[in-house]
Structure 1
Amino acid sequence: MASSFSASWMRGDPRALEFLPDRFRHRAARAEAVTAAASRTVAPALHAALVARHARLAPSPARERNLELLARPGTTAVVTGQQVGLFLGPLFTVYKAASAIVAARALSEETGRPCVPVFWLQTEDHDLPEINHSFVPRASGEALRVALDMPGAATSRTPVAHCALGESIPHALAMLHAELGSQPHAGEHLELLERAYRPEATMADAFAEVLSTLFADEGLVFLDPSDPRLAPLAAPLHRRSLEEASAIAHGLAERGDALSSAGFSEQVHIRPGAPLSFFSPNGPEGARYRLEPASPPGTWHLVGHPEDASVTTAELLSWLEREPLRFTTSALLRPLLQDTWLPTAAYVGGPGEIAYFAQLAPLYAHMALPMPLIVPRARFRVIDDRVRRLLDTLGLSPEDAAAPRDEVLARLAAQKTGEGFEPPEAIEARLVSAFASELARLSERTAAFEPGFARALSRTDKTVRGGISRLVARYGRAIAQRDQVTLERVERLRAHLFPAGAPQERTHGLPYYACRFGSRAFTQLVLDACAPFSGDLKDLKP
């Protein structure tokens, strides 16, 4: 089984560092990245588009200062980004934005150069089912799913930039009111959501309005690649993606083979000869399709097109000249567009994005662009009062609760020894000790005349230890499940911290925490807890 690249990289595994050096950890490397980024400038047309886009947001003196800084030579940027999920999507959206702000501040202090935090609104994707909902944790532990009714979402290929919220958004807001209206700060946060999330608004506009309000004091700048004013500026990169598709795909495929040989898997599969651009044949607001080489040469198949259509290179280049907004980036091309447009010193990303960048060195080299620092985003676990009560009642720490469910139950079972049950750990230790002793005796007897027997003993040892561990875990569960109250508390605790088995930050949305503790208070708590260039998991205790 392939290892997780991001986890290995965060541990400093030399295999992972071969593909993506951890330059973010070293002050000298950070200074080098800032110097390299400072040699690039923001094009006047891009800057004008940014200023026009931000005029639609609530005024922010800090953001206006940052926009002014971006027009000056020598200014650099720390970029992060995310799909524009409903009500900001999972909590890690806020954590990403805060991480970029804190990293930009730290780089400015370290180098003396201005550094601006920029949030890339990922609006070119068409994965509506990934973004059309938000989860609200409940006291029972089970989260409430608040979703938009968007017919055809599962099969839609339209970039989310062109998707209006529609007539179901008032119902989604009403669900939030019903669930959260009694919370201490519900009024101000729900009012903010109602101002932003209107039926005629797009997912991107509503997302940007809320996030810009949360981070108005920090001057977070937003960039939407689907802005029609920016499409001509993306055209040169899409042209190279088409004309040099074979060479680019070959370099990325070799990189994928090297990752596989080192024990890692590709985050993004590379298709032979395929460009990294998507094309919308029926216009920017129509379906987007991946391109694959077809026959005769110079022809491209639109993958997934209902009529199995194809298009020629000449036709694509003609459309690129006339209507460049028909072209959108893939996950691997987006970072190149970002760093073509911006003086990016660092990119703040999550585990998936870190794995993307492990693949990207050949593409950056091909485009003659320096790769920015890759900085892991902050990771948090919110321990509110109801979670604290459960932890105290069960006698667990957050780290204890992070263990697999069976281990948590086995640990609690050990507290039942007063009922005459031997602790699971004691049983496991005794069984393993007895087996290991007999295995060692057998090894001594056979070593002299059968050296190869050692391998069989080693395999048996591993198998038996695994079997004992599973047996003891089942024993622990059986004891713990005798106490239905304890079992329910464990399930509720895990639902708060690991809903559906995933980290809290990847499932729960902001509305509950903002309504409970205050939009700005919770945002400030996150900002204060962010340690630049860390990526370690920390507990937030509002």
Structure 2
Amino acid sequence: MASPFSASWMRGDPRALAFLSDRFRHRAARAEAVTSAASRTIAPALHAALVARNTRLAPSPARERNLELLARPGTTAVVTGQQVGLFLGPLFTVYKAASAIVTARALSEETGRPCVPIFWLQTEDHDLPEIDHCFAPRASGEPLRVALQVPGAATSRTPVAHCHLGENIPRALASLRAELGSQPHAEEHLALLERAYRPEATMADAFAEVLSSLFADEGLVFLDPRDPRLAPFATPIHRRSIEEASAIARELAERGGALSAAGFSEQVHIRPGSPLSFFSPSGPKGARYRLDPAASPGTWNLVGHPEEASVTTAELRSWLEREPLRFTTSALLRPILQDTWLPTAAYVGGPGEIAYFAQLAPLYAHMGLPMPLIVPRARFRVIDDRVRRLLDKLGLSPEDAAAPRDELLARLAAQNTGEGFEPPEAVEARLVSTFAAELARLGERTASFEPGFARALSRTDKTVRGGISRLVARYGRAIAQRDQVTRERVERLQASLLPTGAPQERIHGLPYYACHFGSRAFTRLVLDACVPFSGELKDLKP
């Protein structure tokens, strides 16, 4: 079974480092990356488009200063990004933004060069079901799922940049208010969401308005690749993606084979001869389709098109010149677009993105671009007052909560056997000890006249030990099940720290925490807890 790349990389596994350097750990390498990035500048027209896009956001003198800096030679950027999920999506969106800000600050302090944090609004994807909802934790256990419920979301191929919130957004906001309205700072945060998430607004505009408000003091700059003013700057990248598709796919496939041989899996599957660009044949706001080589040379099939349509390379070139917004990037091409446009010194990414970059060295080399530092985002686990009380009552640490529920219940039962029940560990030890002693005695008595009997004894020992282990586990669960209160507390604890079995930061959204602690207070807590160039999991204890 393939190993998760990012976990191996974070541990410093040489197999992973062979595919992606951990230069972010070393000050000299960080300085080198900043110097390299400082030699590149943003095109004036591209900068003007950035300024125009950011003037629509919450007022921020710090952002204005950062935009001014970006126009000057020698300024570098730290970039992060995320799909524009409902109400900012999972908590790690905020952690990413904070990580980019803290990383930019640290690189600037280390090198003396200005470094600007930029958030790339990932608006080109069409995976609406991935971003049309948000989860809020509840005291009762399972989180509340608030969804936009867009008709046809599951089959939509339109880039989410063009998805308007529509008539269902008031219902989603009302659900949040009903659940969170009694929290101490609910009015402040819910009012912010209600101003941004209007029926006529797009997912991207609402997302950017809220996130820019949270980080206005830090001057976080926003870039939307679907901005029509930026589309012409993407034309050369899409042209090469199409015209050099075969060579690029071959190089990436070789990289994928090497990753597989080293025990890792590809984050993105490479299809032979397919470009890394998507095309929208009915216009920029229409459905986007992957391009696959057709049987006829110079022709591409639009994968998934209801009429099984195709397009020629000549037609694609023509559309690139006339309407470049018809083209969108795939996950592997997006970083190339980013680092062609921006003087990127570092990219702050999560585990999935780190795995993307493990595949990308051949593409960067093919495009003649230096790869930026790849910096892991901050990872947090919020231990709020509700979780703290549960941990105290159960006598557990946050790490303990990651154990399987039955195992945790059995352990707690062993600690609380006040009615004469022997702890499961003691029962297992006594049974195994008694059995092992009898088995050894039998072995001694038979060794002199039946040498082969030892193998039968060994097999029996293994079988019985397994049976005892299963029996004792059931015994522990039976004791634990007697305590309904303990079981409910464990379930609530795990629902808070590992909702649906996943890390809290990947499931829960910001609204509960902002309503409970205050939008700015929680954002400040995250910023203060971010350790540059770390990526280690930390507990936030407001």
The Cα offsets for residues 183-233 of structure 1, whole Å up to 9 and x where unpaired, read as 111111111111111111000000000000000000000000000000000
C-alpha separation between the residues in 1 aligned to 2:467 and 2:509? Answer: 40
Name the amino acid aligned to 2:153: A
Other structure's SS at 1:137 match: strand
Superposition map of 1:256-271 within 5 A: 256-271=256-271
Aligned residue in 2 for 1:125:
125
The Cα offsets for residues 347-402 of structure 1, whole Å up to 9 and x where unpaired, read as 11111001101111111111111111111111111111111111111111101112
C-alpha separation between the residues in 2 aligned to 1:67 and 1:461? Answer: 71
Other structure's SS at 1:62 match: helix
C-alpha separation between the residues in 2 aligned to 1:462 and 1:7? Answer: 33
Aligned residue in 1 for 2:357:
357
Other structure's SS at 1:116 match: strand
Does 2:529 correspond to 1:512?
no
C-alpha separation between the residues in 2 aligned to 1:292 and 1:435? Answer: 64
Q: 1:463 to 1:224 in 2, by over 3 A?
A: farther
Name the amino acid aligned to 1:142: E
Q: 1:311 to 1:427 in 2, by over 3 A?
A: farther
Aligned residue in 2 for 1:108:
108
The Cα offsets for residues 65-86 of structure 1, whole Å up to 9 and x where unpaired, read as 0001111111111100000000
Superposition map of 1:89-488 within 5 A: 89-429=89-429, 470-488=470-488
Structure 1 residues without counterparts, runs of 5 or longer: none
Does 2:58 correspond to 1:58?
yes
Equivalenced residue count is 537
C-alpha separation between the residues in 1 aligned to 2:435 and 2:311? Answer: 67
What's the offset of the Cα at 1:403?
A: 1.8
Other structure's SS at 2:418 match: helix
Aligned residue in 1 for 2:80:
80
What's the offset of the Cα at 1:422?
A: 2.6
The Cα offsets for residues 158-182 of structure 1, whole Å up to 9 and x where unpaired, read as 0000010001111111111111111
Aligned residue in 1 for 2:541:
541
C-alpha separation between the residues in 2 aligned to 1:289 and 1:458? Answer: 60
C-alpha separation between the residues in 2 aligned to 1:501 and 1:7? Answer: 18
What's the offset of the Cα at 1:13?
A: 1.1
C-alpha separation between the residues in 1 aligned to 2:64 and 2:458? Answer: 66
Name the amino acid aligned to 1:219: G
C-alpha separation between the residues in 2 aligned to 1:25 and 1:426? Answer: 46
What's the offset of the Cα at 1:429?
A: 4.7
Aligned residue in 2 for 1:68:
68
What's the offset of the Cα at 1:28?
A: 1.0
What's the offset of the Cα at 1:541?
A: 1.0
C-alpha separation between the residues in 2 aligned to 1:479 and 1:286? Answer: 59
Other structure's SS at 1:158 match: coil
C-alpha separation between the residues in 1 aligned to 2:369 and 2:277? Answer: 18
C-alpha separation between the residues in 1 aligned to 2:362 and 2:461? Answer: 44
Q: 1:464 to 1:237 in 2, by over 3 A?
A: farther
Aligned residue in 2 for 1:496:
496
Q: 1:176 to 1:299 in 2, by over 3 A?
A: same
Name the amino acid aligned to 1:246: S
C-alpha separation between the residues in 2 aligned to 1:305 and 1:189? Answer: 42
Name the amino acid aligned to 1:189: H
Q: 1:301 to 1:389 in 2, by over 3 A?
A: same
Q: 1:414 to 1:369 in 2, by over 3 A?
A: same
Name the amino acid aligned to 2:198: R
The Cα offsets for residues 407-439 of structure 1, whole Å up to 9 and x where unpaired, read as 211211211333233323334455666788879
Structure 2 residues without counterparts, runs of 5 or longer: none
Q: 1:271 to 1:382 in 2, by over 3 A?
A: same
Other structure's SS at 1:232 match: helix
C-alpha separation between the residues in 2 aligned to 1:321 and 1:241? Answer: 15
Name the amino acid aligned to 1:10: M
Other structure's SS at 2:142 match: coil
The Cα offsets for residues 16-75 of structure 1, whole Å up to 9 and x where unpaired, read as 111111111111111111111111111111100000001111210000000011111111
Other structure's SS at 2:134 match: strand
Q: 1:58 to 1:261 in 2, by over 3 A?
A: same
Q: Mean alpha-carbon deviation: is it higher for 397-406 or for 294-303?
A: 397-406
What's the offset of the Cα at 1:529?
A: 0.4
TM-score (norm 2): 0.94
| Sequence identity percentage | 87
C-alpha separation between the residues in 2 aligned to 1:470 and 1:370? Answer: 55
Q: 1:258 to 1:466 in 2, by over 3 A?
A: farther
C-alpha separation between the residues in 2 aligned to 1:365 and 1:167? Answer: 47
Name the amino acid aligned to 2:156: S
C-alpha separation between the residues in 1 aligned to 2:468 and 2:42? Answer: 62
Q: 1:129 to 1:418 in 2, by over 3 A?
A: same
C-alpha separation between the residues in 1 aligned to 2:80 and 2:74? Answer: 20
> What is the alpha-carbon root mean square deviation over aligned residues?
2.5
Other structure's SS at 1:286 match: coil
Other structure's SS at 1:328 match: strand
C-alpha separation between the residues in 1 aligned to 2:469 and 2:35? Answer: 54
